[in-house]
Amino acid sequence: MGDPQDTSQALFGPITADKKSGFSMQELVTEFPDHPNDWSIPEAFLCLILSAAFADGRIAEQEQEEIRALSHRSRTLKNLDQNELAQVNRIVLKRRADRPDWLAEACEALPKDMHLAVFAHCLDIALADGVLVPSEAEFLEKLIGLLTITEEEAKLITKVISLKNRF
């Protein structure tokens, strides 16, 4: 018979694996950061979609139509009545004019699980008039960084939204 130490034909043997870390509340730190931010989610959302439209220095009729439609579809904005939406719009325009870091603040105020959708909406609005100019591309690239969107995610969203706006 073979050597009792020979385990080359053992059917079951011990495995060495890294111990999985257990549940950690530290993962929530990125979702609920420890810094004051006075932006509400609707304010931040409206700020980013309006900024996508303004990125080329003008707001085309198609971009306005897309924003109006989005305000009726989006759960973030559709629960606001016309007066509340106008108030949010005034707040956003004032913050954009008064604060040098308005873009970073608005991005920071959004929950992480909104980042991809907001980027997709912004790209859709920028492409609504059928043209993407360098200033719009620059704005969208800033968003990718501030919303911590990976290159793969950005490419996939860009491909889908580009196709949507092409046809």
Q: Consecutive 10-residue runs of the chain (167 residues): their mean pLDDT?
A: 56 62 66 71 97 95 95 93 94 97 97 97 96 96 98 97 91
The dihedrals phi and psi of 161, each to the nearest 5 degrees, come to: -70, -35
From CA 2, how far away is CA 16, in angstroms rounded? Answer: 25
Displacement of CA 6 from its chain's centroid (Å): 56
Q: 38-166 maps to which CATH number?
A: 1.10.3680
**pTM reported for the whole predicted model:** 0.78
Q: Using CA atoms, how far apart are residues 37 and 109, in angstroms rounded to an integer?
A: 7
Report how far residue 166's alpha carbon sits from residue 160's, in angstroms, rounded to the nearest whole number. 10
Nearest to 139 by CA among 47, 64, 37, 70: 47
Given a contact cutoff of 8 angstroms between Cβ atoms, the answer to whether 7 and 53 are in contact is no
